[in-house]
Amino acid sequence: MSERSFKSTRIVLWLALLAAGFFIGTAWNSKNNQSNQQQAKTEPKAIATAEKTFTEDSKEENQANSVNSEPLSLNPSERATIALFENAAPSVCYITTSNLRRSYYRRNITEVPRGSGSGFVWNTKGHIITNYHVIEGADRATVTLSDGTTYQASAVGVAPEKDLAVLKIDAPRSKLRPIPLGSSNNLKVGQSVLAIGNPFGLDQTLTTGIVSALGREIESVAGVPIRDAIQTDAAINPGNSGGPLLDSSGKLIGVNTAIYSPSGASAGIGFSIPVDAVKWVVPELIKYGKIKRPSLGITMRSDIAQRLQINEGILVITVTPKGAAEKAGLRPTYNNQTLQFEQVGDVIIAINGEQVGDYNDLFLELEKYNPGEQVSLTVLRDKRQIQIPIVLDVSNQ
């Protein structure tokens, strides 16, 4: 083979190797592209599957959250309590009081917070009922209704001996929701009660309990007993004073007024003024500004009675000129003109057959009657019992 032929053969061989390498590389790239395409097709499936799984999980989670956000199953008693609160709460208000102070040096007047309590709407004329001790000694009172609107209040009438007061606000009738009145003469120990008020300034607070006892006697601000008070274990704290005590139908049965507690907070013993007393006291306060009590037209002195050894009944010290006692012929101990001792006067021991042992008994017994009514007094005179009819006067106090 010639040298020229050998070179030609070698060139052809190199060209064949290059062609084979080209075809092998092309085949390899084609295989890789197919593999990548298959992988690309597979990956979106995986992503789609993952997205579908995530969506389904989210849907299940949202459904679970939706189930959790729905109110729990409530029994009929709970539903009734909730409905009662929602219906009664708009009738309950928050009362704050303040005093005005004048600066000694600058002579300007500042308003100093005094206290707070609760109250409730009595009628659509703007009359608000609360405890007397809530506003006692205050220069100003502010009433905040359940919707947050606030009004300056004026005092219409007070009855310290009943721990009741009537305020008045100038509010639209649409904002005033009077509370329905119930009765307290047929209450039973053990029946359910609910109290709504603003303990410690926390507005619209509901507490529940039962009537723990009836016929309790508590002392009013005036030192006169409040009889037939309702005892309850529904939590009553400072700030609840003046708020309503409701029965299970949402009717007013009492006005929360006091607690018995060594610590000053609720100890499960609270007291309310019975609504039957509220129903006759409030109209008197609205009409006259005070309770128009009947009067016997006498003066009493426990120290003189003790000195004369009169330990039971009411000793008549003097009689009011032209008053009920003088007209009825009651005998005084001291002369009206000279105030000199004349004799041991009449001792009243009963009114219409009801025993009266002291001033509080007499005060509460007269409360049952109206001025102008006639009653029969059982009187001790010279150690003999006699009956004296008397027409009651109007008290000036």
The residues spanned by each domain of the chain are: 1-69, 87-175, 192-286, 294-394
Residue 271 pLDDT: 93
Of 91, 116, 133, 266, which one is the catalytic site residue?
133
Q: What is the pTM of this model?
A: 0.70
Residue 200 pLDDT: 73
Q: In this structure, are residues 315 and 379 in contact, taking their beta carbons and an 8 Å threshold?
A: no
Q: Do domains 87-175 and 294-394 have the same CATH topology?
A: no
Specify whether 163 is catalytic: yes
Residue 147 to residue 140: CA distance in whole angstroms: 21
Specify whether 133 is catalytic: yes
Residue 178 to residue 123: CA distance in whole angstroms: 5
Domain made up of 192-286: CATH architecture: Beta Barrel (2.40)
- List the beta bridge partners of residue 245: 195, 254
Of 91, 118, 127, 163, which one is the catalytic site residue?
163
Q: Could you say which residues of the chain have pLDDT below 70?
A: 1-72, 103-107, 201, 260-267, 396-397
Q: In this structure, are residues 292 and 284 in contact, taking their beta carbons and an 8 Å threshold?
A: yes
Q: What are phi and psi of 33, to 5 degrees?
A: -65, -40
pLDDT tens per residue across span 265-309: 556 788 999 999 999 999 999 999 998 888 899 988 888 888 888
Specify whether 395 is catalytic: no
- List the beta bridge partners of residue 193: 209
Handedness of CA 203, 252, 135, 270 (dihedral sign): negative
Radius of gyration in angstroms for the set of CA atoms belonging to the chain, rounded to a whole number: 43
CATH class of 294-394: mainly beta
Residue 369 to residue 364: CA distance in whole angstroms: 10
Which of 213, 214, 271, 216 lies closest to 245, judged by CA?
Answer: 271
> Which alpha helices (DSSP H) does the chain contain, by range?
3-69, 76-88, 132-135, 275-288, 302-307, 324-328, 359-366
87-175: which CATH topology?
Thrombin, subunit H (2.40.10)
Q: Which two tokens stand for residue 8?
A: 């030609």
Q: In this structure, are residues 297 and 393 in contact, taking their beta carbons and an 8 Å threshold?
A: yes
Residue 337 to residue 299: CA distance in whole angstroms: 14
Residue 20 pLDDT: 60
Residue 364 to residue 354: CA distance in whole angstroms: 11
Of 118, 184, 241, 266, which one is the catalytic site residue?
241
